[in-house]
A = this chain, B = another copy of it.
Amino acid sequence: MGKTVNVALIGCGTVGGATALHIIRSATLIRQRYGVEISLVAVVDRELAHARAIGVPEEILFSDLDSVLTRSDIDVIVELVGGIAVAREIIQRAVASGKHVVTANKALLAHHGHDLCAMAREAGRMLAFEASCGGGIPLIRALYDGLAGNRVDAIYGIVNGTCNYILTEMIRRSISYDEALGEAQAHGLAEADPTLDVGGHDSAHKIALMAALAFGVRVEYDEIPVEGIDALDLLDVSWATRLGYVVKLLAIAERTASGVALRVRPCFVHDDHPLAWVGGPFNAVSVYSYPTGHTMYYGRGAGGSATSGAIVADLIAIATKAYEPYFVGGRFWPDRTEPVEQNAPGTIYGRYYVRALVQDRPGVLAEIANRFAEHDISIASVHQDEMPEHEEKLAPVIVVTHAALEDSLRSAVTEIDAMPQVSGGCAVIAIIDEPAEQLIEYQT
């Protein structure tokens, strides 16, 4: 029998509780399959009622963090307290006392991955974080191992289950954002304060991590433009369906000529792209890489159960020393990469859906079309339904553009917003077309 690896879990909430049970229940399987012993020796939380209720053995429950962090018999700590300041300190102290670290904390890594990786590296310890992106989907591994040797060109991810659930329900049942959010909260799929999820910040944390690994560059989290789903109008969600698209909150990372372009925003995804099919709380990430082309990874992006699977995979990779060559030898970790130019969305070309609410007067459409023309934006299609006679209701006018510079588009839209016949601001949603796969092709 191989080495025993003693594990302490810090934080026993939803993910921590499931992870405790998974480690305990799978110990035999892991021993049989990998010849290593993963032993849960401590579960730490200020409040242990949850841990007790789900059956974590009393003898491994501790409320005093300090005494566990300093125990010399512990090989790995799993940080699951969340947040930034406390989690950061826990990881620093754990590494300082010679422990490997596994974490699911994307916010922390997006902001401080650089320092934490450097500290772990200097101490000869591992820092693993498969669970930080895409819950149970082995996504981080795809980037550092499965697609090793590939040049990643683009990543499009549905990486927030709360948002995807809300959007799926809005589309399926034609309900408003507020109604769908309320239901998500009732089902435990959204927090009481849902800002981090619906505002797109959680997705931004994840794409920051994935982009850094995939492109081997240092990403400044604060430079990522983030737009959530909280301002989405059902009208536009419905128009997406009518035009052959599905609205998804996408976390996007693209390699560009001068650097990388990262952003999080609701997008129209064509309904023949696999990402369009990802429903409910599920996550999926499409990676376009040369020479493999398009690969997509699908699964539960959150929840204790799925996330615990990713955490245990990391524990096994640390215990077997399979992770070490990647963490020690890899040059793509946050502490080993150089800053890169992050292109602002305004400098990127793309297609857009623009919807204005207009008074049904002669000349409005002509004026809107002129605004686009003056900014050199080609219109691909225009849609305006006949309105009932004598109705005072505003008519939606939908314009789908050909590829245009986003700055030009925003300028045109600002002018349209200012038109007296246009009510409120235009809705502007990017349309994501599937990029051409870069494959090795040759004539023989």
A195 interfacial contact with B, CB 8 Å: no
Using a CB-CB cutoff of 8 Å, which residues 427-443 of chain A contact chain B?
A: 437, 439-443
Asked if B320 and A322 sit within 8 Å, CB to CB, the answer is no
A393 interfacial contact with B, CB 8 Å: no
A151 to chain B, nearest CB (A): 6
A50 interfacial contact with B, CB 8 Å: yes
Asked if A295 and B141 sit within 8 Å, CB to CB, the answer is no
Question: CB-CB < 8 A to A54: which residues of B?
Answer: 442, 444
A43 interfacial contact with B, CB 8 Å: no
Asked if A315 and B136 sit within 8 Å, CB to CB, the answer is no
Question: CB-CB < 8 A to A322: which residues of B?
Answer: 145, 322-326
Asked if B136 and A444 sit within 8 Å, CB to CB, the answer is no
Closest to A297 in B: B297
Question: CB-CB < 8 A to A137: which residues of B?
Answer: 295
Closest A-B pairs by Cβ, 7 of them: A138-B146, A292-B309, A295-B299, A136-B292, A149-B312, A305-B439, A296-B298
A347 interfacial contact with B, CB 8 Å: no
Closest to A20 in B: B440
A22 interfacial contact with B, CB 8 Å: yes
A363 interfacial contact with B, CB 8 Å: no
A54-B444, A137-B295, A148-B317 known; A216 vs B32 contact (CB < 8 Å)? yes
Q: Residue-by-residue, is A18-51 near B (CB-CB < 8 Å gives 1, otherwise 0)?
A: 1001100010011011111010000000000010
A307 to chain B, nearest CB (A): 9
Asked if A291 and B309 sit within 8 Å, CB to CB, the answer is yes
A29 to chain B, nearest CB (A): 6
Closest to A50 in B: B444
Interface centre among A18, A34, A279, A304 (most CB of B within 10 A): A34
Asked if A33 and B332 sit within 8 Å, CB to CB, the answer is yes
Extra contacts besides A138-B147, A150-B312 (8): CB < 8 Å: A17-B442, A21-B442, A26-B150, A30-B149, A53-B444, A136-B291, A145-B322, A291-B306
Distance in angstroms between the alpha carbons of A303 and B295 in the assembled complex: 14
Work out how many copies of this chain go into the complex: 2
Using a CB-CB cutoff of 8 Å, which residues 137-165 of chain A contact chain B?
A: 137-138, 141-142, 145-151
A321 interfacial contact with B, CB 8 Å: yes
A277 interfacial contact with B, CB 8 Å: yes
Closest to A130 in B: B146
Closest to A321 in B: B325
Asked if B145 and A313 sit within 8 Å, CB to CB, the answer is yes
Closest to A315 in B: B149
Asked if A138 and B145 sit within 8 Å, CB to CB, the answer is yes
A308 interfacial contact with B, CB 8 Å: yes
A289 interfacial contact with B, CB 8 Å: yes
A36 to chain B, nearest CB (A): 7
Give which listed residue, B50, B145, B298, B332, contacts A317 with CB less than 8 A. B145
A351 interfacial contact with B, CB 8 Å: no
Distance in angstroms between the alpha carbons of A149 and B282 in the assembled complex: 21
Asked if A309 and B147 sit within 8 Å, CB to CB, the answer is yes
Asked if B292 and A331 sit within 8 Å, CB to CB, the answer is no
A294 interfacial contact with B, CB 8 Å: yes
Question: CB-CB < 8 A to A272: which residues of B?
Answer: 279
Asked if B313 and A146 sit within 8 Å, CB to CB, the answer is yes
Closest to A13 in B: B444
Asked if B440 and A331 sit within 8 Å, CB to CB, the answer is no
Interface centre among A21, A32, A141, A309 (most CB of B within 10 A): A309
Question: CB-CB < 8 A to A150: which residues of B?
Answer: 26, 309, 312-313
A324 to chain B, nearest CB (A): 8
Closest to A38 in B: B149
Closest to A332 in B: B33
Q: Residue-by-residue, is A267-300 near B (CB-CB < 8 Å gives 1, otherwise 0)?
A: 0000010100111001000000101111111111
A388 interfacial contact with B, CB 8 Å: no
A330 interfacial contact with B, CB 8 Å: yes
A316 interfacial contact with B, CB 8 Å: yes
A420 interfacial contact with B, CB 8 Å: no
